[in-house]
Amino acid sequence: MSILPRLLQLNCLSTCAPPLAALGSGRNNSTQQQWGNSYRVWFCWALAPGTERDSGRGHGLRQQPTTGLATPTHPRTHAPTHPRTRPYIQTTTAPAPAPAPAPSTVARTAENSVVALSYSRRNHRVSETLGRAIQGISDPLGACHVVCRRHCRPALHISLEEPHSLLSPTMKRSHSQSDPKKRKMGPSADKEGSADHNGRPAPQTSTTVAVVGAGPSGLMLAENLVRYGIKTTLLDDRSDKTSTGKADGIQPKTIETLKQLRLADDLLRKGVKVYDISFWESTADKPLQRTGRKIHYPAHVGALDPYILLAHQGMIEDVLIQDMEERRFSVTRSSPFMECSRSTADGRIDVVFRDPATKAPRVLQADYLVGCDGARSLVRPFIPEAKLIGEMTNASWGVLDGVIETDFPDLWSKVAVRTHHAGSILWIPRERNMTRLYVELSSKEGSRMDKSLATPEYVMSRAREAMAPYTLEWKSIEWFGNYVVSQRVANHFADAELQIFIAGDAGHCHSALAAQGANTSMHDSFNLAWKLNLVARDLAPRSLLATYEEERKKIAQDLINFDAEHVKAFAEGDEALSRNFDENIRFISGVGAEYSPNILNQVEDSTTPLPSGSSVNLLKPGALLTPARVSRFMDANPVDIQLDIPLLSQFRIYMFAPSLPTAAGFLDSLCDCIQAPSSLLSRATARANKSYAATPPPVAPMDKYEQLGRYTPLSKLFTYALVTRTAKCDAELSSLPPLLQASRWTVYLDDVMSGGGCTKKWLGDVTDNTVVIVNVRPDGYVGSIARWDDIGAKGVESGRKAAEWLETYYGGFLKG
């Protein structure tokens, strides 16, 4: 028989505080002073089976409770809690339960109750119903809990079906060590027992991943999770997407990512491509003049798209939203996040948000919660001890998007202007004939500009002053903003249980001058999405999620370090700014963002080392694939090999075999080992195929043209690819092992690029007697590389060793 929880919410006022405290603490007069003006207090008992109830008299439970409640104390110091203290839990142990009645009695009367008492010292009435409830609770089981919260915060939706704890910023950063039997708050298994502020039931829904915030970071995360087939809910407090302004610069790596998602075309058509940057300066002796010009992303950067693409944030959001809508997913709008709590029975998170229709709190149960809700994140405080660490500077900037009439000659270039009398300006050409101006209002060393004075009119006058003798007249203004430069990084991106995460501006804040914010934010989500997919599908242990903070926190810190130098260089002049760009250009583009060695990025010691060299094109673990061209064996189409295989949350295993005849024994041996039923890759494949068959990803209309099944014919977890220099006329698919025959759409000929082709660019010198294997993560980063020489004589043995090497690598983070 299911046990049905009951939630009784009673309006009790301050005159009942002494009796409440007196139940167990022996205190009465001090209780009101300690608890303050306006709090909601939850008293929770599990009633013994067979407790008699009076169905005709309100909540007429009989007998006096046999256990009391301690005066609330701080969970760490055990001192009385100040009224403004954050949420906490106080527990006391109840006596042993009374003997259970006969089974027939249990069947008739077994039930759990929760009594919720809400009081305020502004009101001095005590309801008769409350008195009966206090006097009537008998035979308490388990533990008694008290949760103090401000009355204005939402009521928790609680029952006694499962252990439960309120997540709090004051909790220590460690896994909970509390006995689950002593933590008895939580949503019931049958989804009953929740209520809004007025006691009305609020429907509970369930999801795998709850994402808070529908900006670039939240949308990128949801977009990938939806594509992977993970049940996702995206909450946003806004009624619609961004219509104007905000982030606007899309860097080369982000363009590449959007291409991999097949989402770049619309932005490439509508956005403005900027290939160069010019530098202007005035001094006390010289008027404003151009001092230099540079190619924004020179060839040595290694970017496939060597430009910055300008399009306002709403255009980026729109592309992601439209693709999700084609997959029958939509953003839950006007639904601000309020708080969350964790159930220790099943480990799920109760996410409380305001229902857009009723305006009442509503509970969403989720396995994972990700805060993509900006620098003032409401999710971040629920990661214990997480906070932004760094500097809030005095530097402030005004931002204007509009159509300008001007005689300034470099209107359609990116322009950095530094003046001796009116600060600095950054010009950015934009879509629809607009220009964005970043106008310095106060420097880092000076006094901070009063934000109320930073009006559009003031910013325009400041820009005109700086650009004299050139004229500036705004025909229209679409968007205006101002900000103070903050350079901070969160000390934690995830909680200890690896269930609550932050991404984007919730984890790092910096200036907008280098167009990094939205780009870095989207790649936070890009990193996290595939890891959540593997863990949610039980294809990898939860410990894999620890690599998210490890990798993205490093990138965030690298970004803050660069940004501090960049803002300083802007103030020092063109020479310093130019030098700063040269030193950091690969990082700015995104292609130079690299991860340190970990279980995913493994630098091999046991195999023959890759050739040394200074070329940024040589692959290495923790770095991205660099652009290279090959042709597909099946249709002779020349393709960008790093983009050709779509992103399906699968790993790519590239086998570079310059000579197929020489490598035949190696490939046969390797593929036989991979497909052996006992191999890790075979077992992981079976697990993945079963998961995707049970929960397939949604299909969009364009997917039918992409024919995604071509790239995962045998495994939903691995795409096997072969790259060879053997001429097409000398190669036949039928001569390859069955695994590679099935993977015919990812057999490539290295015959497009001169000078050694893709193989030479990525791996250096590789002879016909050598095979190199490259493992590539689902986000396009290289995981590991190894090579085997003398395969003509040792092909079968080397193939077995290569299979063992693959088992070792993937066995570090995948389930078999």
* pLDDT tens digits, one per residue of 513-549: 777 889 999 999 999 999 999 999 999 999 999 999 9
Q: Residue 624: which pLDDT band, with cuts at 50, 70 and 90?
A: very high
Q: What is the mean pLDDT of the segment spanning 572-583?
A: 77
Which pLDDT score is estimated for 615? 64
Contact 106, 130 (CB under 8 A): no
Which pLDDT score is estimated for 389? 95
pLDDT of 447 > 80? The answer is no
Q: Give me the chain's average pLDDT, please.
A: 80
Which pLDDT score is estimated for 515? 77
Q: Residue 738: which pLDDT band, with cuts at 50, 70 and 90?
A: very high
Alpha carbon of 292 to those of 123, 410, 446, 677: distances in Å? Answer: 72, 12, 28, 63
Which pLDDT score is estimated for 702? 93
| Poorest-pLDDT segment among 108-117, 318-327, 387-396, 764-773 | 108-117
Which pLDDT score is estimated for 762? 98
Which pLDDT score is estimated for 331? 98
> How many Å apart are CA 502 and CA 264, to the nearest integer?
26
The first and second tokens of residue 493, run together, are 């991106």
Which pLDDT score is estimated for 345? 77
Look at the alpha carbons of 745, 751, 754, 755 in this order and tell me if their dihedral is positive or negative: positive
pLDDT of 614 > 70? The answer is no
Q: What percent of the chain has pLDDT over 90?
A: 65
pLDDT of 312 > 80? The answer is yes
Name the burial class of residue 742, with classes exposed (0-12), middle (13-18) and buried (19+) by CB atoms within 10 angstroms of its CB.
middle
Q: Which residue has the higher pLDDT, 463 or 513?
A: 463
Which pLDDT score is estimated for 184? 29
The first and second tokens of residue 299, run together, are 């060839």
pLDDT of 759 > 90? The answer is yes
Q: How many CA atoms lie within 13 A of 186 on its CB side?
A: 23
Q: Residue 626: which pLDDT band, with cuts at 50, 70 and 90?
A: very high
Q: Residue 303: which pLDDT band, with cuts at 50, 70 and 90?
A: very high
Angle at Cα 41 formed by Cα 38 and Cα 44, nearest 5°? 170
Which pLDDT score is estimated for 74? 39
Residue 557: closest CA among 677, 395, 390? 390
Q: Which residue has the higher pLDDT, 512 or 722?
A: 722
**294 forms bridges with which residues in the sheet?**
277
- Helix orientation angle between 546-572 and 517-536, rounded to the nearest 10 degrees: 180
> How many Å apart are CA 221 and CA 503, to the nearest integer?
9
pLDDT of 409 > 70? The answer is yes
Domains and CATH numbers, the chain: 5-201 (no CATH), 629-811 (3.40.30.20)
Q: What is the mean pLDDT of the segment spanning 378-393?
A: 94
The model's pLDDT over 121-148, given as tens digits with 9 standing for 90+, comes to 333 333 333 333 333 333 333 333 333 3
Residues 6+ apart with CB under 8 A from 540: 531, 534, 813, 814, 815
Determine if the peptide bond prior to 101 is cis (ω within 30°).
Answer: no
pLDDT of 254 > 60? The answer is yes
> How many Å apart are CA 67 and CA 432, to the nearest integer?
71
Which pLDDT score is estimated for 9? 35
Contact 31, 81 (CB under 8 A): no
Q: Residue 476: which pLDDT band, with cuts at 50, 70 and 90?
A: very high
Which pLDDT score is estimated for 101? 41
Residues 6+ apart with CB under 8 A from 705: none
The first and second tokens of residue 603, run together, are 């630098």
Residue found by looking up tokens 């999700």 in the block:
324
| Poorest-pLDDT segment among 161-175, 383-397, 550-564 | 161-175
Contact 185, 165 (CB under 8 A): yes
> How many Å apart are CA 197 and CA 157, to the nearest integer?
10
DSSP string of 424-470, one letter each residue? EEEEEE-STT-EEEEEEEE-SSSPPPPGGG--HHHHHHHHHHHHTTS
Q: Residue 359: which pLDDT band, with cuts at 50, 70 and 90?
A: very high
Q: Which residue has the higher pLDDT, 67 or 755?
A: 755
